[in-house]
């Protein structure tokens, strides 16, 4: 599943291109035979953002979008033109007693984000795809200036990863469920359990 929900707006930032060549190249890649999509995406980003260092993290351990949604950072999804790919999803009311018709959201498969944390900007791509075993692979690709890189790692990206990783490892009104070969947090199941407990009491 991709990331869904509202993305907070942040001030506009400079990007190396307004024609979204990474998305175009990724679509070309997906149309043919591939063996290592993660490496291919990194190479595509490096070729197009030659002035940037790319740090790859898994949202299972470093959930940058969830971290921003919780108010600890700002994430703005660029939706102009063909800059992203998402699946429109419908979410029913959480309980039968809840009024309304539900709501619509987006499950993002390919997204280019303007990300801001502690006054610093981190251009970021979120990309996911189906693997050979029917599961879903998902990664964040964080871009930082090359002058922040030491011993093959970006110090500024590492500070963000450490802080967000610690937050991601904690439960926030969620429980762990095993799904598609991965442990993931499920907020809806936690709410359902809490509701059932309150009714029984």
Pairing of strands 153-154, 136-145: unpaired
pLDDT at 77: 93
Give the pLDDT band of residue 82 (cuts 50, 70, 90): confident
Give the pLDDT confidence of 137-151 residue by residue, as tens digits: 899 999 999 887 877
Q: Kind and range of the H or E element at 167?
A: helix 155-169
- pLDDT at position 9 is 43
Who's near 16: CB < 8 A, 6+ residues apart?
A: 48, 49, 51, 52
Q: 67, 60, 80, 75: which is closest to 20 by C-alpha?
A: 80
Instruction: Average the pLDDT over 7-23 and give the result.
Output: 58
Q: Residue 183 forms beta bridges with which residues?
A: 178
> What is the mean predicted confidence (pLDDT) over 48-72?
94
Q: How many angstroms separate the CA atoms of 72 and 80, rounded?
A: 25
Among the ranges given (44-53, 59-68, 178-187), the one the predictor scored with the smallest mean pLDDT: 178-187
Answer for the pair 6, 24: CB distance below 8 angstroms, yes or no: no
The average confidence (pLDDT) of the chain is: 79
Local confidence band at 107 (pLDDT 50, 70, 90 cut-offs): confident
């Amino acid at each position: 599943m991709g990331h869904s929900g509202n993305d907070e707006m942040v001030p506009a930032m400079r990007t190396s291109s307004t024609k979204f060549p990474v998305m175009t190249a990724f679509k070309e890649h997906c149309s043919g035979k591939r063996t290592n999509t993660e490496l291919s995406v990194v190479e595509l980003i490096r070729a197009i953002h030659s002035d940037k260092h790319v740090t790859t993290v898994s949202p299972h351990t470093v959930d940058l979008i969830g971290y921003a949604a919780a108010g600890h950072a700002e994430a703005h999804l660029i939706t102009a033109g063909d800059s992203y790919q998402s699946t429109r999803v419908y979410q029913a009311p959480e309980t039968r007693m809840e009024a309304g018709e539900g709501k619509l959201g987006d499950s993002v498969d390919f997204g280019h984000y303007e990300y801001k944390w502690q006054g610093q900007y981190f251009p970021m791509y979120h990309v996911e795809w189906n693997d050979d075993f029917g599961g879903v692979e998902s990664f964040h690709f964080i871009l930082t200036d090359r002058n922040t890189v030491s011993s093959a790692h970006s110090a500024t990206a590492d500070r963000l990863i450490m802080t967000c990783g610690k937050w991601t490892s904690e439960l926030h009104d969620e429980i762990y469920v095993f799904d598609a070969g991965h442990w993931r947090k499920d907020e809806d199941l936690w709410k359902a359990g809490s509701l059932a407990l309150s009714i029984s009491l």
